[in-house]
A and B are shown apart, each in its own frame.
Chain A
Amino acid sequence: NAGVTQTPKFQVLKTGQSMTLQCAQDMNHEYMSWYRQDPGMGLRLIHYSVGAGITDQGEVPNGYNVSRSTTEDFPLRLLSAAPSQTSVYFCASSYSPTEAFFGQGTRLTVV
C-alpha cells in the first residue's frame, strides 16, 4: 500500500514552460486535492476533486489546471510557469472528513 505518491520530488522550470505534477493514490479515495505551501502562509487549496470527472477550484486556482479521469490519479498542470508559482506542492486524498493522507510533496522552482 503506497498511499499518496507524488512525482517528481523536485523540479526546476524556466518561466513560460509547462509541466504536470503527478499525484496517484491506491486507497480508492474519492476526494483528492492539491495544496501549495508558501512560507508564512500555511497550505492553500488550489483545486480539488470529489470523484472521477468532477473537479472544482480552491482558494488559489489561477495558473493551474486539473482533471480527474480515474479515481487513482489527479494531475496538476502548470500551463505557463511563473516565478510566483515557486512553491512546495502537496497532494492529499480522503475517504471522509476525519481523515486525510498527504503525499511527500513536490518542490518546484521557477526561474
Chain B
Amino acid sequence: QVQLVQSGAEVKKPGASVKVSCKASGYTFTSYDINWVRQATGQGLEWMGWMNPNSGNTGYAQKFQGRVTMTRNTSISTAYMELSSLRSEDTAVYYCARGGGAPTNWGQGTLVTVSS
C-alpha cells in the first residue's frame, strides 16, 4: 500500500533552517508529484509548493519563494522540504502529499516548532 513516512518533530531557533523528509513506498516514486502543505495549530491548511520527483522541477507559493527548497533522492524514494530563516510564525505541522492537484495520500505530518 502507498505510504509516506515523514521525519520526526523538530525544534529550531529563529533564523535557523529545517529540513523535513518524506519517504515514499508502495508505488513508483518518480511517477507522482509531491506537494507540501502546512498547518499552524488550530489553523487552516496552507499550500507551500510541489516537486516532480522525476525531473526535479518545482513550483513554490509566492509567500515562500526564496525561503523554501524542495528536493529529492530518487535512489531512496525520499522527498525533502527545507525552510530557511525560520520565524515563530513557521511553527506548524508540515505534510507531504502524493499527487499533483488533489493529493490522495498524505504523510503523518511533522511538527516544526520555532522558539528561542
**Is B one of A's binding partners?**
no
B binding-site residues for A, Cβ under 8 Å:
none
